[in-house]
A and B are shown apart, each in its own frame.
Chain A
Amino acid sequence: MRKAPGAVAAVILALALALGSKPLPAAAQAASQNIDELKKTAVKVFLDCDDCDLDFIKTEITFVNYVRDRLEAQVHVLITTQATGGGGQEYTLTFIGQNECRDLRDVQKYFSSKTDTEDETRRGLVKTLKLGLMSFVARTPIACRIAVDYALPEAGAAGLDRWRSWVFSLSGNGYFSGEESYMSRMVYGSFSANRITPRSKLKLGLSVDTSKQRYEIEDGTVTGSTSSLDMSGLYVKSLGEHWSAGAYVEIESSLYSNVDLGVTLAPALEFNFFPYSQSTRRQLRALYKLAVIPVKYREETVYGKLRETLFQESMSLSLDLREKLGTISLSVEASNYLHDFAKYRVDTFSVVNLRLYKGFSVFVIGGYSWIHDQLSLLGREPTYEEQLLRLRELPMHSNYFAAVGFQFQFGSIFTNVINPRFGSTGGGGLSIHMN
């Protein structure tokens, strides 16, 4: 099949000799120049990535200068990710030329696999990043110190996929923590089977979780526990660049919501105002869903029911934009039960993260819900402990959360230096992670 490793090595060596180590005429010139002088005119790069190992990138790619503000950069590298059918990530690297490189623009892709470790993923991303940066580097004098290695092509394309695009995944997690007067335990398990192709998407999942907290107080202990079970299925068929049709199935059981067993069956239709092929940068999707829900409660509800069958319709609109200026994500979903239109809810959600001026950025994350459809609410009063530990759903008309913040930075624009001494603790702050 493959060539002997020795032969491959010899070829690589020959090429490295031919391409790399042999000083180029321009390089010969440059060698006499100070390399640190060349670095001063190297391309200024702004890396715009939420989930990248930036320290690793900066230690591996040293032929550019990194800046902390997008407006200072000659190239703004916007890195967006999307899940792939195999469970990995598609990294889309958009190279946006600015200032002296205004005329240059490029898009490169890198795919990580679900089975890749962190190190493999960060190395793969660095390789793609290097290739994409070359068009910009070629315009600076430091280009003469870049070598390209070309290993002999490996044999042929990948064979047939004997799993026919099916991906199975099983996971289990446990979290335990405590001290003398407090103990908390959480166990979570899930199984999924997915088949994702450009033409259709089938996702099946099962998850269970239980959690328990125990507090020692003066005259005894307070214990709280929750558990839930969830089975879900989704099938979607692609109908061109803008339309999709499909159906949801969900079976759930939840102590918090007082649901012993609830089944949801919902056909749905979606329209995307942007073509699906641009989804990593922009989407505006409208989804209509019609659901039939037979449900059995754990304890009698405030409406005196133990079981019922409900019909519900819902419409959602969500906008996701990822641009040079930042991220905007807005969504609104409204639903009502068909037997009583006054039983409705409206959920809104927004994430706005903008780099407004040089060094100034703001973010707003918020959600507000109007809730008039708590059909599963417990008939009795929850206990004081259930209330403080938030173990049971309480009657409400609305709920909200909001996080807002700003940051203003000035001073040195360069962020080339990695100094790991005494650790790299930033010390406090509000950190927000989104998926």
Chain B
Amino acid sequence: MNPIKTRSIKAAALAVIITLALALPGSAQAPVPKPGSPPPPPLLKVFLDWPGTDIEAIRAEIPFVTFVPSLDEAQVRVAITPQGPPPEGHLRIELTGLGEFQGLDNTLTYAPGRDEKPGDVRKGVAALVRIGLLRYAAKTPVAKDLSVKFLDQTKPTSVNDEWNFWVFSLSGNAFLSGETQYRSGSYYSSVSANRTTPAFKVRTQAYGNWSNYWFDLGDGTAYTSKTHGYGGSALVVKSLGEHWSAGGYVEAESSTYGNLNLALSAAPALEYDVFPYSESTKRQLRILYRIGLTRTRYYVETVYFKTAETLLQEALSVAYEVVRPWGKASLQLQGSHFFHNVKFNRVELAGGLEFRIWRGLNLEVDGSYTRIRDQLALSGEGASLEDILLRQRQLATGYNYSFSVGFNFSFGSTKSNVVNPRFGNGGRSISISM
């Protein structure tokens, strides 16, 4: 039997090229090893049960498996049975895992079009079988040579959504810890309503947090303290093409740490991304300008003898982020000032880098520095020793910084995939932040 003979010269030539290029095994022959190189990994063995079909044509469509002539040596059985008379009848495709793939089964259906020719039906079925076989091939060494591609681009909003992309969320959290002579508690609660589509982004939320400390000082006295913060915010962003966005923030805040009884602000903003937004998970360079009016009432008269004031402030920030196979990097520069006195300003520089210098040698650096000249809310009363040590009040400062650097060098059998869960996999760590 030589099926190629019956087909066009072009198709035959293509099939020959593929057959040669891959050294595709014949029905049951082992692959021909190339001289001087170890043999390629074995392919998935498939038994195709489709009476009367042209197996060579199927083979050309699915080159990453070997079709074997008997069920005994197969790892997967593919049975294709017509359901009803052609041309309207569907084809039922049953994939059955054998041996180590026992229990991995799937049933697919191919519905041919009204005027599909038998050759087209064969190709359509082969395309479905090809996709159906991937789960088995993924468990064999051939997996690393396979990749799946989607031929189209779709809009993420192409769904039937009765809520029109609105998501509402309600949450509450509490964190408590203590010892015989020490107790602390933090509580956080929020409600939010968000809507995210490619054209619009709406985020609204209201939150509250409360925390308290209690120290037994041993001599019959105890030190206790309570702090809280409440607020609400709304952000609306409209997309203006692949590079521009315009939007606005509205915020309300109350905080004992910041000496803010109530601060209300509204700020329109404009953003430009040098790279298209669609590349945001790989790289972004965003420039954001914001101008805002804030009305603030303080708990305690400030160091500038104010109990309330209205301020206009503008801010510009530039943020760069990139994630690449060598690692990732980010850099952010932000500056802001108040209009009533330009001397009240702030400049912040922050950056981070994770970089693979050489094979197992990785470097990680993070840092930020802020020059602070705008602590308008600072309490005129000063802070107690306890407030300072427990960091419960904003303190006067001209700067703050944080910097961290780390490196890791690993060598040896770093490609080892062995998992050995005995005696546990090392310690457990939990970090909680608010």
Docked CA distance A407–B170 (Å): 6
Docked CA distance A10–B201 (Å): 45
Counted as pairs of residues, one from A and one from B, with CB atoms less than 8 Å apart, the total is: 503
Q: Is the CB of B416 within 8 A of A174?
A: no
Interface segment out of the listed A158-166, A305-313, A334-342: A158-166
Closest partner residue, chain A, to B416 (CB atom): A86
Residue A212 is within 8 A (CB to CB) of chain B in the complex:
no
Q: Is the CB of B22 within 8 A of A86?
A: no
With A18-B60, A146-B131, A396-B181 as known contacts, state yes or no: A217 contacts B159, CB within 8 Å: no
Residue A4 is within 8 A (CB to CB) of chain B in the complex:
no
Residue B7 is within 8 A (CB to CB) of chain A in the complex:
no
Docked CA distance A164–B412 (Å): 8
Docked CA distance A134–B130 (Å): 10
- The one of A65, A148, A365 in contact with B147, judged by C-beta atoms closer than 8 angstroms, is A148
Docked CA distance A309–B120 (Å): 82
The A-contacting residues of B in range 178-217, CB under 8 angstroms, are 178-182, 186, 188, 190, 193, 195-198, 201, 203, 205, 207, 209, 215, 217
Instruction: List the 10 closest A-B pairs by CB distance, nearest first.
Output: A156-B38, A25-B120, A405-B173, A86-B416, A416-B156, A177-B402, A401-B177, A173-B406, A279-B421, A420-B280
Docked CA distance A202–B207 (Å): 48
Q: Is the CB of B179 within 8 A of A236?
A: no
Q: Is the CB of B176 within 8 A of A401?
A: yes
Docked CA distance A11–B430 (Å): 50
Q: Is the CB of A150 within 8 A of B411?
A: no
Residue B239 is within 8 A (CB to CB) of chain A in the complex:
yes
- Which residues does chain A contribute within 8 Å of B414, judged by CB atoms? 86-88, 113-115, 167
Docked CA distance A86–B414 (Å): 4
Q: Is the CB of B152 within 8 A of A145?
A: yes
The B-contacting residues of A in range 190-239, CB under 8 angstroms, are 196-198, 200-201, 215-217, 222, 234, 236, 238
Number of interface residues, chain A, beta carbon within 8 A: 168
Q: How far is the CB of A138 from chain B (nearest CB, A)?
A: 4
Docked CA distance A384–B384 (Å): 14
Q: Is the CB of B169 within 8 A of A422?
A: no
Q: Is the CB of A62 within 8 A of B153?
A: yes
- Which residues does chain B contribute within 8 Å of A376, judged by CB atoms? none
Docked CA distance A186–B107 (Å): 59
User: Can you show 11 pairs from A to B with CB atoms below 8 A apart?
Assistant: A20-B149, A24-B123, A83-B426, A108-B139, A143-B127, A149-B146, A152-B21, A179-B395, A180-B395, A272-B422, A388-B215
The B-contacting residues of A in range 79-129, CB under 8 angstroms, are 82-88, 90, 103-104, 106, 108, 111, 113-115, 117-120, 127-128
Docked CA distance A133–B78 (Å): 19
Q: Is the CB of A11 within 8 A of B201?
A: no
Docked CA distance A291–B280 (Å): 54
Q: Is the CB of B360 within 8 A of A14?
A: no
Residue B304 is within 8 A (CB to CB) of chain A in the complex:
no
